[in-house]
Structure 1
Amino acid sequence: MVSVLILTYNEEVNIADCLDSVAWADDVLVLDSGSEDQTVEIAEAKGARVMERPFDSFADQRNYGLEEGSLQSDWVLHLDADERVPPALRESLLTIAGDEEAYDAYRVPSKLIFRGRWLKHAGMYPTYQVRFGQREALTFTQAGHGQRAALPPGRIGTLDEPLRHHAFSKGLADWFERHNRYSTDEARRALRLYAGSRLDWQGLFARDEQRRRRALKDLSYRLPFRPLLRFLYVAVGRLGILDGRPGLTYATMLAVYEYMVGLKLDELRRQGQDPDRASTASDPHEAAASTSPQ
């Protein structure tokens, strides 16, 4: 048996399809952050249990659901409303839930969907997040504008079957609004690095993919022409051009995001602001965030 915990805020566009994709689960909890649309009504009509809690961070929301949500299963799948569980992933989850020798938690890959197309190359597939784990073992800590599993790498396995992530289901305006906020957080993080934090040089060669990605990200803050480099990396280095016009459009959007980060970093440095003043995301509008811009 598997329980499902879904975080929501104004997700009437997404919640029905998300719940339909986990209709096989006997226990589904929607933890809402005060939606002002029909999210709660739709979730209840679909048979999900609904709890409400003011948003403070993604990690705290997920941990609250684990602790106070009366989840019925020892295994919990954590979702955002713009994610879908295909049948193949469902079978993998159910198999693991019945395996006495399973890891405490699992990284789940994600297919990024843009304009009806899977961005196989531009979406940097596969990217992973820890989203499935044992209720008593898996908790979360806040990391940037997303969350990170509070477990050592040796206790985390990796699944092959992916989620489908419909990150653009609310339209491009919503994407740019969210990434405007993310770029502020990222500029502050970059400022901390410039203020004297040391780069994780060993992490560049680590076996743990998540640590390696973070180390590369930190190193990238020191590079010139970041927007152009980001576009070339996604469109050429990752073969995003093979995803056609959607892939090139997405590569351009990521370059714009990097330009926003650079502008805000320059502004913070000119103003001499404290990088720790107000860095991490705390807005329920960001309920579809991940650990990297998508």
Structure 2
Amino acid sequence: MNKDFSFIILTYNEEIHLSRLLKSIVDLSAQIFVLDSGSQDNTIEIAKKFGAVVQVNPFENHPRQWDYALKNFAIKTPWTIGLDADQIVTPELFDRLQKFNDHNFEGINGIYFNRKNFFQGSWIRYGGYYPIYLLKMFRTGIGYSDLNENMDHRFIVPGKTIVWKDGHLLEENLKENDINFWFEKHERYSDLIAHEEIDRMQNLRRQSLKPNLTGNPDERKAWLKRLWWKLPLGIRPYFYYSFRMIFQLGFMDNKTARHFHYLQGFWFRKLVDKKIKSLQSGLDVRR
């Protein structure tokens, strides 16, 4: 059994994804922990087939689900790796992990992985979507889930972090091949974000990370989010989509990826702003 790290994976009806992920990591011989949200398909059976320790916990949002996982699984290794079920570890990243030795990382508390995101079979290469570095590996008991946001989830570690630029996590949610699934998911997400931003306007939430444009990837994202919250509602989606398509070269992506940029970078942002305005005025919004 791997003595350096263990995996935690969150699942909900992930039979379409889970085998793909587990096959990409099983030869690392690491302990696998799966926190399920009440799947009604074969997710749990697949997890157990690969020897995973499985718990079930009702889902509230991703940050709280990760918080539960980190606090309720008995991780014995010095490092924990948190993955989503729709991700895959590439051979290059597998090789890095296979050679990983805790003794070579003294003074390091977290490691960022490089992610490639796919939508309906197309790699989202431009528009600010690559490279994207995610803190996925951290010292057990030191890394924790940021509970200060409703939808976005991130792990936070105090101290020094490093970025692995080579080797990738491939992320593709095959359920999104059905565009109705994508719309329904983002309808839910828009409600979470709208309520979160109202809380921020009322000073009921504060950023957990110190915004820093020259800091680590999450500190830079925190800086950009702080800027985003200051932009005028209803106008900022136009700014963002234009910046993403022109200055971040989104127009160079293929047709499917450009459609993604429109949906995620414009349609979704406009929906969020519409719901924020509705909450401000006490009205109920429907798409």
What's the TM-score, normalizing by structure 2?
0.83
Residue 258 of structure 1, CA deviation = 0.8
Residue 198 of structure 1, CA deviation = 11
Q: Can you give the 5+ residue segments of structure 1 that lack an aligned partner in the other structure?
A: 274-294
- Aligned equivalents of 1:217, 1:175: Cα separation in 2: 23
Alignment of structure 1 residues 17-96 onto 2, 5 Å? 17-26=20-29, 27-96=31-100
State yes or no: 1:263 paired with 2:274: yes
Residue 232 of structure 1, CA deviation = 1.6
Choose the corresponding residue for 1:107, options 112, 117, 132: 112
Choose the corresponding residue for 1:210, options 218, 232, 237: 218
Residue 84 of structure 1, CA deviation = 0.6
Aligned residue pairs, count: 271
CA contact (8 A) 2:148 2:205 kept: no
59 and 220 in structure 1: CA distance in 2 versus 1, 3 angstrom threshold: closer
100 and 184 in structure 1: CA distance in 2 versus 1, 3 angstrom threshold: same
| Letter matched to residue 254 of structure 2 | G
Q: Can you give the 5+ residue segments of structure 2 that lack an aligned partner in the other structure?
A: none
Choose the corresponding residue for 1:244, options 244, 254, 257: 254
Q: What CA RMSD, in Å, does the superposition of the two structures yield over aligned residues? A: 2.7
Q: Deviations over 1:82-119 (max 9, x none)?
A: 01101111222233334443412212221101222211
CA contact (8 A) 2:28 2:98 kept: no
Of 96-105 and 11-20, the range deviating more from structure 2: 96-105
- Aligned equivalents of 1:45, 1:197: Cα separation in 2: 44
Aligned match of 2:194: 187
- Residue 108 of structure 1 aligns to a residue whose secondary structure is strand
Residue 267 of structure 1, CA deviation = 0.3
138 and 220 in structure 1: CA distance in 2 versus 1, 3 angstrom threshold: closer
Residue 71 of structure 1, CA deviation = 3.4
231 and 168 in structure 1: CA distance in 2 versus 1, 3 angstrom threshold: farther
Aligned match of 1:288: none
| Letter matched to residue 157 of structure 1 | I
Identity %: 26
Of 57-66 and 233-242, the range deviating more from structure 2: 57-66
90 and 244 in structure 1: CA distance in 2 versus 1, 3 angstrom threshold: same
- Aligned equivalents of 2:66, 2:282: Cα separation in 1: 35
CA contact (8 A) 1:168 1:175 kept: no
Residue 149 of structure 1, CA deviation = 2.5
Aligned match of 1:13: 16
Aligned match of 1:178: 185
Residue 24 of structure 1, CA deviation = 1.4
CA contact (8 A) 1:113 1:164 kept: yes
